[in-house]
Structure 1
Amino acid sequence: MNSIVKLPHDDHSCGWYAALPEPLPPRCLSGAHKADHVVVGAGFAGLAAARRLASHMPQARILLVDAQRIGYGASGRNSGFVIDLPHKFALEHPNPEHKQRLLSLNRAAIDQLQGLIQHHAIDCQWSHAGKFQGAVGPRGLAYLDHFRTLMDDLGEPYEVVERQALAEVLGTQHYSRAIYTPGCYLMQPAALVRGLGESLPGNVEVYEESPIQRLEKTAGGWRLHGNQGHIDTPQVLLGTSIFTQEFGYLRNRLLPVMTFASWTRPLSDAEMARIGAQADWGLTPADHAGTTVRMTQDRRLIIRNTYRHVPRYGRSVDEATRRRIRQDHQQALLARYPQLAEVPFTHTWGGAYAISRNFTNFFGQLEDGVFATACDNGVGAAWGTISGTLLADLAVGAGGAQLAAIQAVTGMPSRNPPEPFLGLGVSTRIRWAAWNSRSEL
């Protein structure tokens, strides 16, 4: 029997979620159920897995269960980038074929999301805006030069944008240079995740605010125990990211990290004119420990930086810590836009995700009847979508080139050192990275 110990405990101040209309009351799990397949976790991976299972088996009963509301968890808390390129660390991989597989998988996910958004008219600020990778000082410029070399090796198009041309888009002279890559899409993550949940096929039943407390092996498969009911099923698919370890799987292999963002109210016409910025763009830092900045379609500025090791997930962060993080975000905003000193942040939020020490994603079968995709290493929108889709293929015995590709680029996350050494080491590394990257924050 596998018992859940710690459940999601996200803050109530995610701007993306707060901007959505109030949802209908949730359907909660109660009583006894039988299902052909159960998907746990309704983020990008779980939603994609449930949708793909339904297309393979339209007569099957498929249950999708989440501990929170759809769009409230980590998938609805990112900065709204759907990036086609391999992650910065994956770009360092010595095998060109490995990187091309990742690129192909990410682009398949983008095509899949775009098709669903168009077909179901999901209003989520979806935009083929591309992405800037920006540098402030010498440290950032060195990283940017290295990124340019990696892009040349990959054979992907990019454009070098110097300070003045960049300022015409961003409305700030803060950045010395950026590299623009055209394949990234921007979106409102909570709106997209909710829209994907609302447009699932008819044989997918969704249960929200229904945490699964433990998994129990039975003669016929698995029993999933909730607070007010249980489900018997021969097959479980876990799209639970960092919480996979709470079911007893991949323990001591996943690192729970939380990153934080704040956003402003929508800027007025006068404020937009004052800074001379365009709407609808995104910039990530060349130095990975730097600051991500976005301007949404409705003209909110987002600042994202600051990382924390969160062994208790949301319970690891108190309100005093969140206030200090907001102050840091305010400094980062004013460094870029001193003309907006009177513009307040309206929301500050965090989102927990899983990374691994060897930057390896897990994908596959954990034991008889249990499958999982876990550890997106901070690039969850595209990876979650394609890995969830292909996990369903694996679970039903479907093959294909994409399944072979994802199996070739995934593996086992490396084992972590024991506590308290793990926590001390991760926290020290995060602080050291922030100190080294302070010029880019």
Structure 2
Amino acid sequence: MNLPHDDETCGWYAALPAPDPVRRLVGHQLADYVVVGAGFAGLAAARRLAAHKPDARILLVDAQRVGEGASGRNSGFVIDLPHKFALENPDPEFKQRLLRLNRTAIGQLQTLVEEHGIECQWSHAGKYQGAVGERGLAYLAHFEKLMAKLGEPYRVVEGGDLSMVLGTSHYSRAVFTPGCYLMQPAALVRGLARSLPANVELLEQSPIQRLERDGRGGYVLHGGEGQIHTPQVLFGTSIFTREFGFLQNRLLPVMTFASWTAPLDESQSKRYGATFNWGLTPADHAGTTVRMTQDRRIIIRNTYRHVPTYGRSVDDAMRRNISEDHRKAFLARFPDLADVPFTHTWGGVYAMSRNFTNFFGKLQEGAFASACDNGVGAAWGTISGTLLADYAVGADSSLLDDIQAVTGMPSLNPPEPFLGLGVRTRIKLAAWQSRAEL
């Protein structure tokens, strides 16, 4: 089994104070429900199960510390709009269902942040979608048409108005959409974990190494120092779902990388001379995402890799090369900040499918999963985990109808070595085509 093997250089996680003492899976445990994976999906599923079943014993198990995995490694966007390829769906109701799901997730997260005082730089900042050259501008014009057809509010920002926001004249034009929230992802998921209901027990640094049926309709989950017997398992494990024998040859493990700077000091902030706390995603899908955080750090995110063994597919030399590419993208945008160093470069793995379809539902009797986020983790993980718990206990709702209508079975992948060759070729082609937007 290929377990998570993330780098230890995630800036979001490094910026947090030391975590609470860890509790691991030890000995023989009995549970009414086990949720595997303590990212956005797993946290939401465990919380919802606890609400449905307040007298049940619920174990939430993660191979790492909360915030060390993919949910703590994204760029800190919680996006309400259908994402990229979903926007191209010709069915208007399909997109309206996604809007309802994403906005419900945002509402849930906002309520939890406020109720539990989670310090995670949570803010209703909106999002810019930016373009540099002709290719990006063409994508941006298409995005405007999609927004108009969807009936969603947006405004065009360009020229001096745009540079006053971003602190750079690198971008020709941007479209601002107001529904996105920004946050510090590792701080958010850690805060969500600390505020779990009393009947949810969190076990960290406890990788599940083997799953088997117990012969009575339930499951035994084997860890390094203990095991759990349970009748019901919910997987919030995204790409790692395939390590338990499910969705084999249907999920593509892709890693994207980010670097961030030290916080700008007063002199550097004056040279920057624009606003803080904004986020920009590229109109061209393979372009560069840029964030300015509330604590004055600039994040550059681009570069994709096919990682069949997850973090073990990446070595230090590759990370150094990626950091150098990020530096070029940073200097192209902020040449007056050449004295601001990068302090961290990290990667995060997520699951894609060839038909851009997310899986949601029952894997087999007593086993359920939300898997394959196609690169949109925070909102999708939150709502899919919540509704997966509803589904597992038989609680119907219109939102459950919505998520079942927009999910399905990820398509089968071709066998290796053709799969790896095809994915690597596609990534290289996209990077070459989008080089002006990087």
For 2:185, the equivalent position in structure 1 comes to 189
What are the equivalent positions in structure 2 for 1:148-167 lying under 5 Å apart?
148-167=144-163
For 2:286, the equivalent position in structure 1 comes to 289
1:131 counterpart = 2:161: no
For 2:404, the equivalent position in structure 1 comes to 407
CA offset digits 1:64-99 (Å, max 9, x no partner) = 000000010000000000000001100000100000
CA offset digits 1:243-300 (Å, max 9, x no partner) = 0000010010000000000000000122121121211000000000000000000000
Among 139, 142, 151, the alignment partner of 1:143 is 139
For 1:307, the equivalent position in structure 2 comes to 304
Among 13, 25, 29, the alignment partner of 1:17 is 13
1:206 counterpart = 2:202: yes
Give, in whole Å, the separation in 2 of the partners of 1:309 and 1:131.
Answer: 27
C-alpha displacement of 1:164: 1.3
Among 76, 93, 107, the alignment partner of 2:103 is 107
TM norm structure 1 = 0.99
For 1:269, the equivalent position in structure 2 comes to 266
Give, in whole Å, the separation in 2 of the partners of 1:398 and 1:435.
Answer: 48
1:228 counterpart = 2:188: no
C-alpha displacement of 1:318: 0.2
Give, in whole Å, the separation in 2 of the partners of 1:14 and 1:225.
Answer: 29
Give, in whole Å, the separation in 2 of the partners of 1:183 and 1:206.
Answer: 32
CA offset digits 1:113-155 (Å, max 9, x no partner) = 0000000000000000000000000000000000001101100
1:373 counterpart = 2:370: yes
| Runs of 5+ unmatched residues, structure 1 | none
C-alpha displacement of 1:163: 2.2
| Runs of 5+ unmatched residues, structure 2 | none
Give, in whole Å, the separation in 2 of the partners of 1:205 and 1:391.
Answer: 19
Give, in whole Å, the separation in 2 of the partners of 1:310 and 1:165.
Answer: 40
Among 224, 240, 243, the alignment partner of 1:243 is 240
For 2:427, the equivalent position in structure 1 comes to 430
C-alpha displacement of 1:108: 0.1
1:416 counterpart = 2:413: yes
Number of aligned pairs? 437
Give, in whole Å, the separation in 1 of the partners of 2:240 and 2:172.
Answer: 40
For 2:167, the equivalent position in structure 1 comes to 171
Q: Secondary structure at the match of 1:89?
A: helix
Give, in whole Å, the separation in 2 of the partners of 1:329 and 1:254.
Answer: 27
CA offset digits 1:156-184 (Å, max 9, x no partner) = 00000012111001100000000000000
CA offset digits 1:35-71 (Å, max 9, x no partner) = 0000000000000000000000000000000000001
Give, in whole Å, the separation in 2 of the partners of 1:337 and 1:206.
Answer: 42
Q: Secondary structure at the match of 1:128?
A: coil
CA offset digits 1:274-330 (Å, max 9, x no partner) = 121211000000000000000000000000000000001000000000000000000
What are the equivalent positions in structure 2 for 1:385-404 lying under 5 Å apart?
385-404=382-401
Q: Secondary structure at the match of 1:100?
A: helix
Amino acid of the structure 1 residue aligned with 2:215: A
Amino acid of the structure 1 residue aligned with 2:380: W
Q: Secondary structure at the match of 2:222?
A: strand
C-alpha displacement of 1:25: 2.2
